[in-house]
A = this chain, B = another copy of it.
Amino acid sequence: MHNSIYHALEKKDCGHQLSLDNAIAGLTFNEDGLIPAIAQQHDTGEILMMAWMNPASIRETLQTGRVCYWSRSRQTYWRKGESSGNQQTLVGLFADCDGDALLVKVNQQGPACHTGRRDCFYNQLTPDGLNITKAPIQNPDEMYKK
């Protein structure tokens, strides 16, 4: 179960470096070749959304500075903001200790959620049930019209 490349990094000091090829090769991708990526607004700390990346979308994100996911529903690369205009600019990309999750610190223009809400995590679960806690900041019908 242990990922050998990331396992070896656990005991390394702050400042230790590894090539990007080895860092990406060492990540754990699921059976669909994907790794979960958490998008966080870099300054406010808001968790905006969770999506998925593959090796090519990680490289593109680092090279272009615009965040690129893999869309499982559309089975294609998904450059956030392509259709809505609400772009995500990369601030920093981080892999976790096990190399099986990514944190993408971003600068998000407008809503990150396709519902027009700023972020996707608006359904609060409590012992008494689910409560919707946020309202759209943009009309989703206007986000996706041409």
Footprint of B on A, CB under 8 Å? 1, 6, 9-20, 22-24, 36, 38, 40, 44-47, 49-50, 58, 62-63, 72-73, 92-99, 101, 103, 113-115, 117, 120-135
A97–B122 contact, CB under 8 A? yes
Contacts beyond the supplied A15-B132, A94-B121, A97-B120: 13 A-B pairs with Cβ under 8 Å = A9-B123, A16-B131, A19-B129, A20-B127, A23-B125, A23-B129, A38-B50, A63-B127, A92-B124, A94-B125, A96-B123, A97-B123, A103-B121
A113–B130 contact, CB under 8 A? no
CB-CB under 8 A from A16, the residues of chain B are: 131-132
CB of A11 to closest CB in B, whole Å = 8
CB of A42 to closest CB in B, whole Å = 10
B94–A13 contact, CB under 8 A? no
B73–A115 contact, CB under 8 A? no
B97–A58 contact, CB under 8 A? no
A15-B131, A131-B15 known; A62 and B95 CB under 8 Å? no
CB of A22 to closest CB in B, whole Å = 8
B101–A14 contact, CB under 8 A? no
